[in-house]
A and B are shown apart, each in its own frame.
Chain A
Amino acid sequence: MRGHGFLIANYVRGNSVIHRTPLWLKFLLVAGCGTASFLIVDWLVSAAVLAVMCGLFLLTGAGAGRLWRAVWMVAPILIVIGLFQWWQLGGPTAARIVLNVLVCVVAASVLTATTPVQDLLDGVVSLARPFKRFGADPERFALTIAVMLRSIPFIAGAFSDVRDSARARGLERNPRALVLPVFITTVAYARQTGDALAARGLGEAGD
């Protein structure tokens, strides 16, 4: 399989003020953006928050190219959502919903671009530790995040590969030729990932 586009920006080494910001504050920023996306009712406010988040991303030194790639990957879904909401609820609501999703994507990218994955996983383990008393395994929370970060770009890459092979056979307009192979590839990938983790003894009870 070829290299994949990344929905969420990978870690970029640096020493920006965002890099140096404590992890809990970055988590809070992402959680805040997620909550705000439900509370903001004016698309102009959403646009302003998005502008601030984009500014924060550029402050990290990760570059506009990475920001564009992160946004570009969700563009097809956002176009579909935006058109549907426009039809159902009108332009301002559609703009607000699309902009709020973008705020979340950019906020997540700020977090992942400035935090090494292992630090992120350690942070998740710390956050999940209180649930240990209820029988939850904090390491499994972290592993779930790790697998999610890996799986999204894989599925995006699988879609690109399948689209190319459908195009090569003149089937680019056949949704079944696109969806079914991606579905099968994704299931196979999930099984392989499960095997790979099991073989390394990761994700077992009591880790």
Chain B
Amino acid sequence: MNTIIFSGVAVRVAVDGSHTAKTLLQDVSFELTERRIGVIGANGSGKSTLLRLLNGLAEPSEGTVTVNGSSTVSEVRHVRSQVGFVFTDPLSQLVMPTGREDVELSLRRSVRNSRERAARAEAVLDRFGLLRLADQSIYELSGGERQLLALCAVLAVDPKVLVLDEPSTLLDLRNRELLRRTLAGLEQQIIMSTHDLELALDMDRVLVVDDGRIVFDGGAAEAVDRYRELCAAELEADSEGVHRP
């Protein structure tokens, strides 16, 4: 199994017109070895930043992130060959006009021979039941089909770790279930942020992120309870603020 280590990580970004940097994440340290890891938290809490650190899409301002011993900053190329990343909106991710072309694009780096590349792409599309949609424009596909295609394009290069940033946010109930089943059948280590608490309950370990900090790290059921408490407390604080004269 893979080992992902966050050690004293903080992420700060400059804000236009301000001398002080905005803190997106702070004091984050943990080691991930479980097969299914969930990340839950409110919008803007730092979930996406945390996930982007895993693939080198974001760099820590402090501390280090390593995947199987490789730094996500100095060995980013090697890390990206091991860590696949699925974005919330598949249209942000699918670069080519059709599914077949997009999967083949993923394979360009690893498979130089065009015939072999085409055969590999076809096999991957077939594995996910997407072969019949392979030559359709990505705009003609449903949200669920697009998300599966984005997943398929990432899995084509056989990453060891799969990072998914709120993959079910844009999906209806049926497609959400389809995605859930597909993910359950994958052998990769999965690290996924989600607002879907049912999906979070499938995880072996769940991190709760609030205001850039990990406020809970443990079993899925306790994590979901903790997140609900956190939301309830924030709602109460907000309503007190509204009603205060």
Q: Could you tell me which A residues sit within 8 Å of B by CB distance?
A: 1-4, 6, 10, 13, 116-119, 121-122, 139, 142, 146-147, 149-150, 153, 192-193, 195-202, 204, 206-207
CB interface residues, B 160-175, toward A, < 8 Å: none
17 A–B contact pairs at CB < 8 A?
A10-B97, A13-B135, A117-B97, A118-B108, A118-B117, A146-B95, A149-B97, A153-B97, A193-B92, A193-B95, A195-B87, A196-B87, A196-B92, A199-B55, A199-B87, A201-B77, A201-B109
Nearest B residue to A149, CB-CB: B97
User: B30-38, B99-107, B213-221, B223-231: which one contacts chain A?
Assistant: B99-107
Most buried by A among B55, B97, B140: B97
Of the candidates B94, B118, B154, the one whose C-beta lies within 8 Å of that of A118 is B118
Q: Could you tell me which B residues sit within 8 Å of A by CB distance?
A: 55-57, 77, 80-81, 84-85, 87, 91-98, 101, 104-106, 108-109, 114, 117-118, 135, 137, 139-140, 153-154, 157
Of the candidates A2, A3, A150, A153, the one whose C-beta lies within 8 Å of that of B95 is A150
A10 touching B92, Cβ below 8 Å = no
How far is B105's CA from A199's CA once the two chains are assembled, in angstroms?
A: 13
Residues in B with CB closer than 8 Å to A6 are 97
B139 touching A4, Cβ below 8 Å = yes
How far is B137's CA from A6's CA once the two chains are assembled, in angstroms?
A: 11
Name the distance in Å between B75's Cβ and chain A's nearest Cβ. 12
Interface of A is mostly: helix
How far is B153's CA from A111's CA once the two chains are assembled, in angstroms?
A: 26
Residues in A with CB closer than 8 Å to B157 are 200-201
B97 touching A150, Cβ below 8 Å = yes
A200 touching B101, Cβ below 8 Å = no
Of the candidates B80, B98, B117, B135, the one whose C-beta lies within 8 Å of that of A198 is B80
B101 touching A116, Cβ below 8 Å = yes
A195 touching B91, Cβ below 8 Å = no
B92 touching A195, Cβ below 8 Å = yes
B137 touching A146, Cβ below 8 Å = no
B96 touching A117, Cβ below 8 Å = yes
Name the distance in Å between B40's Cβ and chain A's nearest Cβ. 22
A sample of 15 more A-B contacts (CB under 8 A), given A117-B101, A117-B104, is A118-B105, A139-B109, A147-B95, A150-B95, A192-B87, A193-B92, A195-B87, A195-B92, A196-B94, A197-B95, A200-B153, A200-B154, A200-B157, A201-B77, A207-B109
Residues in B with CB closer than 8 Å to A207 are 108-109
Name the distance in Å between B24's Cβ and chain A's nearest Cβ. 16
A202 touching B108, Cβ below 8 Å = yes
How far is B97's CA from A4's CA once the two chains are assembled, in angstroms?
A: 11
Residues in A with CB closer than 8 Å to B154 are 200
Residues in A with CB closer than 8 Å to B91 are 1
Residues in B with CB closer than 8 Å to A142 are 108
Residues in B with CB closer than 8 Å to A1 are 91
Of the candidates A122, A146, A153, A196, the one whose C-beta lies within 8 Å of that of B93 is A196
Name the distance in Å between B210's Cβ and chain A's nearest Cβ. 25
Name the distance in Å between A194's Cβ and chain B's nearest Cβ. 10
Residues in A with CB closer than 8 Å to B109 are 139, 201-202, 207
B77 touching A204, Cβ below 8 Å = yes
A122 touching B80, Cβ below 8 Å = no
How far is B119's CA from A118's CA once the two chains are assembled, in angstroms?
A: 13
A2 touching B80, Cβ below 8 Å = no
A200 touching B104, Cβ below 8 Å = no
How far is B167's CA from A131's CA once the two chains are assembled, in angstroms?
A: 40
A201 touching B81, Cβ below 8 Å = yes
